[in-house]
Structure 1
Amino acid sequence: MATWQPSRAGAPWRGPAAVAVQDRMFRALAVLRFVVLANTVVVFAVRHDELVRPALGVAVLAVLAGWTVVGSLVMRRARRRTAPVLGLDLALGAAALLLTPVVKGPDFALSLPGYWVMTPLLAWAVCLRWSGGLLAGVVLAACDLAVRPEITQTNVGNVFLLLIGGPIVGYLCGSLQQMAARRDAAERAAAAAEERARLARAVHDGVLQVLALVQRRGPELGGDGVELGRLAGEQEGSLRALIARQDALVPPRRTGAAPLGAAPLDAATVDLTVPLGARVDTRPPVASLVGTGGAVEVPVGVADELVAAVGACLDNVARHVGEDAAAWVLLEDTGAAVVVTVRDAGPGIAPGRLDEAATQGRLGVSGSVRGRLADLGGSAELTTGPGGTVWQLTWPRR
């Protein structure tokens, strides 16, 4: 049987995050049930000599105690918080109030259930928010006033607390559920956006680079090569435009947010010198690797991202400076961080060119370099000028 909820379509409290909030509240309510039950039993025992029908009072308290145990177990699961269960919870509280003059006589001061009546009130407020809390408060207040031989200022104060406490708790519960649902949706959207960014980097480092190479080399083949280069250029432009539109959907990283792509330090590690040397030796431009003279152990995932970022830097050198251009890669391990420096002797990057490239969907800098280091919790600093371009990629050890 489904959980009894308002019929409002698209209500944010129907999602898993909202149900989790409600579950936590009912766990706290289960503890409260036993606390107020103990208080009711103690008051009953202390003032038993004032009772007109003590046997009936004991029976009523036994029912409340039994329901406290059974109700707490039943309502632990969201699917069991149905209309009959909540209705029975409220009915027991109201019946205990109505039986108070029968058990204690007409001149009673404290009601038979005492503070126990607050538990069905809170259950209705948590399940049905402010409207449920108000309805339960009205029922309990009406029962309490109906058995009073004389309405005093204390009675009015108790009724006031019932009528205002239920809606307030219900409103706060609804607000918490909405915030939890929105946070859950925002986290899913951020995760999807981050995944799109990672896929965009993979496309850039693979498909787009190949298309750009075909576009450059196609005309050199003559004949069909010219047409092949033209088609490759068109597809490259279309794919870059698509990536640019998707990249615009990626939300900015929150200040202090945990790096999404960082691997734990106790994960499988690899000597960064090995994959970095393989990348430097297998593809243009002509690059030299200067290492530390020893192993630089980093998590495998971190090594993959650092090597890919260095590869993107070298691809930019090959494309914009030339495949025969010289480049240098320096690997340092300071203990607190791993620093990889990529330098070339080209003409440098013109002012505003990186921003223009990002709007065109060219992710060599914004995605493949800076994006990767940001996901690792590191940084990518660029220094460029007529004497060449220097990238300093820093991954801090945590």
Structure 2
Amino acid sequence: MSRSYGAVGIRAAVAVEDRLFRAVAVLRLVVLVNAVGLALYRGVDNYDHPTAGYVLLAVMVAWTAFATWAYADAGRRGVALVAADLGVTLALLALTPVVKGPWFNATVPGFWVMAALFACAIRFRAPGGFVAGVLIGGFDLFLRDELTQTNYGNFFLLMIGGPIVGFMCGSLQQMAAERDVAQQAAATAAERARLARVVHDGVLQVLALVQRRGAELGGQAAELGRLAGEQEVRLRTLIRSQDALQDAAATGTLDLADALARLRQRPGVDVAVPGGTVELPAEAGSEVVAVVEACLDNVSRHVGEGAPAWVLLEAFGDRVEVSVRDEGPGIPEGRLAEAAAVGRLGVSESIQGRIRDLGGTATLSTGSYGTEWEFWVPR
């Protein structure tokens, strides 16, 4: 597939591949019955060594049963299985002159070779079909004493049939992936719109009302109104950030600069980002945004609501660097170790753990001048 569609697209592609291999399993059985039937019809006179010929037919029966079982599980469809499938096919072709004699007309496997050709094409698309066609067709021609029009026609069909089948299989998988991703995006958008209506008609309106009434009444009610106004802003920001993450999940990438710039809507937060886009894989970008939000939450919790905080994003060819700084009292020495010892893993997991899982590093500087986190994440 030409692009990444995430887990949903992968499941759709595997489902298409499963159906195609079930079709190949039926094809294996049909061409096997054809090969065995022709061998029995022609009888022992068709072989210089009849016993060896019937042994090869038994091998075909056994391999058909094994391959049907092996290809049924996507986890077993690796290079080893496809190579073994091709190897058995080429071995049967190579032994044909031995059991039938050098003047043979039809190979022992006959049309049975189509199963290995299609398996390569399905598993490795057009390149796999081309390689299999070259190997099977070329090997068949090499065994012949002379090049006839029929032999050349068989080689030509194998050469073009493999890539065409591979291309069609890849196209079917891509269409299935795009369809499922589009359906998920439509369902997500519908649910997002429904939740937005619920939040707007309920929570946001109540918070706005509390803010206005608090300002009118004064005193403690005014403070309550101020807090309600801050929560309204945070909730609206959360809704917008979720929209951005959902869009990123649909496209497979996230503009980290845009996602972090949205954090300017939090009270006291100043964000500096490059002028252009800074694209990361959606999952990695979402984790970086979550880490920065966790740092800003700690600023609000330990320094104060609306306390100044600065977020800086720098983009390089192989990495991105993000720093989050405040001017609070700093983190007392031993506080993080003490928190981890009693099971409070906010910093070690929400911040350091996320960055570590992305293959990056997190550096903490803290003191009376404030606290600064610096993150390095590979692109």
TM-score by length of 2: 0.58
Residue 30 of structure 1 is matched in structure 2 by 25
Figure out how many residues of one structure are paired with residues of the other and give that number: 245
Equivalent of residue 16 in structure 1, options 5, 11, 15: 11
Distance apart, 1:245 and its partner CA: 7.4
Alpha-carbon distance in structure 2 between the residues aligned to 1:250 and 1:79: 30
Alpha-carbon distance in structure 2 between the residues aligned to 1:9 and 1:206: 40
Q: Secondary structure at the match of 1:151?
A: coil
Equivalent of residue 145 in structure 1, options 141, 144, 147: 141
Across the aligned residues of Structure 1 and Structure 2, the Cα RMSD in angstroms comes to: 2.9
Q: Specify the code of the residue in structure 2 equivalent to 1:22.
A: E
Distance apart, 1:73 and its partner CA: 0.7
Distance apart, 1:159 and its partner CA: 0.2
Equivalent of residue 88 in structure 1, options 60, 84, 89: 84
Distance apart, 1:30 and its partner CA: 0.6
Q: Secondary structure at the match of 1:99?
A: helix
In the alignment, is the contact (CA less than 8 A) between 2:89 and 2:116 conserved in 1?
Answer: yes
Q: Secondary structure at the match of 1:34?
A: helix
Equivalent of residue 179 in structure 1, options 162, 175, 180: 175
- Report whether the alignment pairs 1:53 with 2:42: no
Equivalent of residue 75 in structure 1, options 71, 77, 80: 71
Alpha-carbon distance in structure 2 between the residues aligned to 1:242 and 1:157: 64
Alpha-carbon distance in structure 2 between the residues aligned to 1:129 and 1:79: 17
Q: Give the greater-gyration-radius structure (CA).
A: 1
Residue 188 of structure 2 is matched in structure 1 by 192
Per-residue CA deviations over 1:250-270 (Å, capped at 9, x if unaligned) read 99xxxxxxxxxxxxxxxxxxx
Deviating more after overlay: 172-181 vs 140-149: 172-181
- Report whether the alignment pairs 1:215 with 2:211: yes
Structure 1 residues 248, 132: closer, same or farther in 2, change over 3 A? closer
Distance apart, 1:126 and its partner CA: 0.7
In the alignment, is the contact (CA less than 8 A) between 2:5 and 2:181 conserved in 1?
Answer: no
Deviating more after overlay: 90-99 vs 201-210: 201-210
Alpha-carbon distance in structure 2 between the residues aligned to 1:95 and 1:11: 39
Superposition map of 1:37-48 within 5 A? 37-48=32-43
Structure 1 residues 97, 248: closer, same or farther in 2, change over 3 A? closer
In the alignment, is the contact (CA less than 8 A) between 2:126 and 2:166 conserved in 1?
Answer: yes
Structure 1 residues 237, 70: closer, same or farther in 2, change over 3 A? closer
Q: Specify the code of the residue in structure 1 equivalent to 2:143.
A: V
Distance apart, 1:202 and its partner CA: 2.4
- Which structure carries more helix by proportion? 2
Per-residue CA deviations over 1:192-235 (Å, capped at 9, x if unaligned) read 33332232222223211212322343344244445654664565
- Report whether the alignment pairs 1:113 with 2:71: no
Q: Specify the code of the residue in structure 2 equivalent to 1:28.
A: A
Alpha-carbon distance in structure 1 between the residues aligned to 2:138 and 2:244: 58
Q: Secondary structure at the match of 1:161?
A: helix
In the alignment, is the contact (CA less than 8 A) between 1:19 and 1:78 conserved in 2?
Answer: yes
Distance apart, 1:122 and its partner CA: 0.5
Q: Secondary structure at the match of 2:145?
A: coil
Q: Specify the code of the residue in structure 1 equivalent to 2:69.
A: L
In the alignment, is the contact (CA less than 8 A) between 2:125 and 2:163 conserved in 1?
Answer: yes
Gaps of 5+ in 1: 1-5, 252-398
Q: Secondary structure at the match of 1:64?
A: helix
In the alignment, is the contact (CA less than 8 A) between 1:125 and 1:169 conserved in 2?
Answer: yes
Superposition map of 1:164-313 within 5 A? 164-226=160-222, 228-229=224-225, 232-233=228-229, 235-236=231-232, 239-240=235-236, 243=239
Q: Secondary structure at the match of 1:199?
A: helix
Gaps of 5+ in 2: 248-379
Alpha-carbon distance in structure 2 between the residues aligned to 1:41 and 1:56: 14
Residue 334 of structure 1 is matched in structure 2 by none
Alpha-carbon distance in structure 2 between the residues aligned to 1:72 and 1:224: 75
TM-score by length of 1: 0.55
Alpha-carbon distance in structure 1 between the residues aligned to 2:71 and 2:161: 21
Superposition map of 1:156-167 within 5 A? 156-167=152-163
Q: Specify the code of the residue in structure 2 equivalent to 1:57.
A: G
Structure 1 residues 225, 209: closer, same or farther in 2, change over 3 A? same
Residue 370 of structure 1 is matched in structure 2 by none
Distance apart, 1:109 and its partner CA: 2.0
In the alignment, is the contact (CA less than 8 A) between 2:97 and 2:143 conserved in 1?
Answer: yes
In the alignment, is the contact (CA less than 8 A) between 2:5 and 2:178 conserved in 1?
Answer: no
Q: Secondary structure at the match of 2:31?
A: helix
